[in-house]
């Protein structure tokens, strides 16, 4: 079975690089091919990398609280670019202030994200979700 390819990065003006590096290493060690775009990534950069790498999923990170603004319209842009149905994950501190996570998750799901992870989610949780959603055997 060929490796599944992920495009990861930190969206918007966010420059939190440490978590991104941790995810890169965790996903690589779990057997994924990972295209790491680094920090300050635009929606268009994620989409272009996903097309170029024939990615199976896009994993968006955000820690500075503006993820909701940065992610708005991303699913529609993916669809328009020919990535209809690509797995779309987001995680981190993705909204401003303290908000009930179930409400945050519902908003991001409405925006077209398949999975939404709260701050402090262990990489293993995301890896397990990816394996389930990409129908990979352990």
In this model, does residue 138 exceed pLDDT 80?
A: no
Residue 1 confidence class, pLDDT cut points 50, 70, 90? low
Q: Which residues are annotated as a binding site for adenosylcob(III)alamin?
A: 13-17, 61-63, 93-97
pLDDT at 110: 97
CATH of region 5-134: 3.40.50.280
pLDDT digits (tens, 9 = 90+) for 52-100: 999 999 999 998 989 999 999 999 999 999 999 999 999 999 988 889 9
pLDDT digits (tens, 9 = 90+) for 15-58: 889 999 999 999 999 999 999 999 999 999 999 999 999 999 99
Question: pTM of the entire structure?
Answer: 0.94
The three-state DSSP-derived secondary structure of 53-65 is HCCCEEEEEECCC
Domain ranges of the chain: 5-134
- Determine contact, residues 39/63, Cβ cutoff 8 Å: no
Question: Please, where are the H alpha helices in the chain?
Answer: 17-29, 43-53, 67-71, 74-80, 101-110, 123-133
9: number of Cβ within 10 Å: 24
d(CA 92, CA 127): 15
pLDDT at 137: 72
d(CA 103, CA 105): 5
Which residues are catalytic, by number? Answer: 14, 16
Per this entry, what is the length of the chain?
138
d(CA 74, CA 70): 8
């Amino acid at each position: 079975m060929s490796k599944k390819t992920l495009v990861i990065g930190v969206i918007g003006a966010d420059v939190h690089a440490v978590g991104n590096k941790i995810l890169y290493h965790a996903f690589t060690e779990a057997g994924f091919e990972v295209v790491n775009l680094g920090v300050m990534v635009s929606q268009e950069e994620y989409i272009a990398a996903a097309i170029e790498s024939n990615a199976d999923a896009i994993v968006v990170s955000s820690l500075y609280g503006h993820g909701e603004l940065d992610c708005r319209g991303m699913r529609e842009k993916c669809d328009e670019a020919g990535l209809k149905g690509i797995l779309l994950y987001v995680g981190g501190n993705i909204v401003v202030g303290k908000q009930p996570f179930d409400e945050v998750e519902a908003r991001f799901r409405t925006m077209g994200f398949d999975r939404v992870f709260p701050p402090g989610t262990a990489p293993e949780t995301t890896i397990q979700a990816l394996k389930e959603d990409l129908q990979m055997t352990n």
